[in-house]
Amino acid sequence: MIKSPRGTRDLLPPDTALWNFVEGAVRDVFRAYNFHEIRTPIFESTELFARGVGEETDIVAKEMFTWEDRGRAESDKGQSLTLRPENTAGVVRAYIEHKLWDRGLNKLFYIGPQFRRERPQKGRYRQFYQIGAEVIGPATAGSESPARDAEILELLATLLDRVGITGWTLELNSVGCPADRAQFNEALRKALEPVAAKMCADCQRRVVTNPLRVFDCKVPEDQPIIETLPRISQFLDEGCRKHFDEVQEILKAVGVPFVLNDRLVRGLDYYTRTAFEFTHGALGAQNAILGGGRYDGLSEALGGPAAPGIGFAIGEDRLVMSLPQSAESAIRKPDIYIAPLGAGMNREAARLARELRRHGLVVDLGDESFRLKKSFEAADKAGARYILIVGENEVKADAFALKHLASGEQVTVPRGELAARIAKSS
């Protein structure tokens, strides 16, 4: 038997009802904040992620699905392509390619699959799904304002509340500008030199390539060392400090609670200034539902004009795991099951089903070969509220036996009154 590849999964009913609930709520929230959808290719040039995400990040160094797209002839030089491990770089590539700065401030969102070759674990898959948004544009359009940061964070608080997730925590930090980080990295290197040999292999590599990544370490034995390291908050210049203070003031004004975490860094090279995560206790040790931050230099790094931006990505797999409701409660069961009885009744049942569906009712259909008992069993299994009998006598009278399955109440209802009768009791 052929099975789905390791690190992937099939999403089946009724679980897909929860996913549709989440995505519907998300689209409603984005609409309220004037965001518009963007859809980028699921694979891009490998160079995009090497330049945008950073060659020394774990994503680029270890986790990407990359291949050479050779031409038809063996001698043709191919292009290196990669399944997208994240979507911000692709959105910024599209921003540059299509000259979206002509539109001023761009508020864009996406929903779709991403791919990373990492060890599968609870809530983490090699094909996973993200909901994300980016606010990007020229500085003259207000894209670098702390108000944009606060709006994104307030949107996320609204979104989590809308889908029913309570008890979340917003952790906030500033990772400063490139000049701040250069000083911070130098201080980190000096602090790590005498202790690096005691740390895990990944941290020993990070000390050489990018010391800031040490803060991503989850190895318990390394945490006492990490606790003693300098913090980025000690190295912020006046502009970054003021920007971060204003973000906090707006959040307080709109009533979005947060905690400061000066150990919080984002795992990608393009982040500047505001960095954040929303966490939730239901997810255990790996408790981040979503994260994001500001990336004011990413457009220039990809060959575009200056375009300050801020965005986030929600792990949809983990978001769904955090929902308080069950999949069964999210799925809409049939309002009515139509049971055709006898030869020639399938077409009559189909006509009736079409009429009722036009009124917005969820209708399931049986088959004229079923005995009445089997029809009742099928209606009950489908979770229908009503069963409607369609036999030769009912068709002649143009009135049908309608039975409420939970109460057992049965009435005869004229064809023209069926939709209103069923809808009234929903």
Per DSSP, the residues of 315-364 read EHHHHHHT-SS-HHHHSPPPSEEEEE-STTHHHHHHHHHHHHHTTT--EE
Confirm if 216 and 223 have CB atoms less than 8 A apart. no
Confirm if 86 and 63 have CB atoms less than 8 A apart. no
Is residue 130 classed as helix, strand or coil in its secondary structure?
Answer: strand
- pLDDT score of 123: 64
- pLDDT score of 125: 87
Confirm if 164 and 323 have CB atoms less than 8 A apart. yes
Cα–Cα nearest to 89, from 44, 126, 143:
44
Is residue 233 classed as helix, strand or coil in its secondary structure?
Answer: helix
Distance CA 321, CA 165 (A): 10
Distance CA 360, CA 379 (A): 19
Confirm if 192 and 167 have CB atoms less than 8 A apart. no
Q: Which helix (H) or strand (E) holds 312?
A: strand 309-315
Distance CA 256, CA 178 (A): 28
The conformation of residue 134, written as its DSSP 8-state character, comes to E
- pLDDT score of 358: 94
Distance CA 267, CA 68 (A): 26
> Which residues have a Cβ under 8 Å from the Cβ of 351 and sit 6 or more positions away?
none
Cβ neighbours of 235 (radius 10 Å): 20
- pLDDT score of 14: 86
Domains along the chain? 15-177+237-321 (3.30.930.10), 332-424 (3.40.50.800)
Confirm if 370 and 378 have CB atoms less than 8 A apart. yes
CA 148, chain centre distance (Å): 20
Q: Which parts of the chain register pLDDT below 50?
A: none
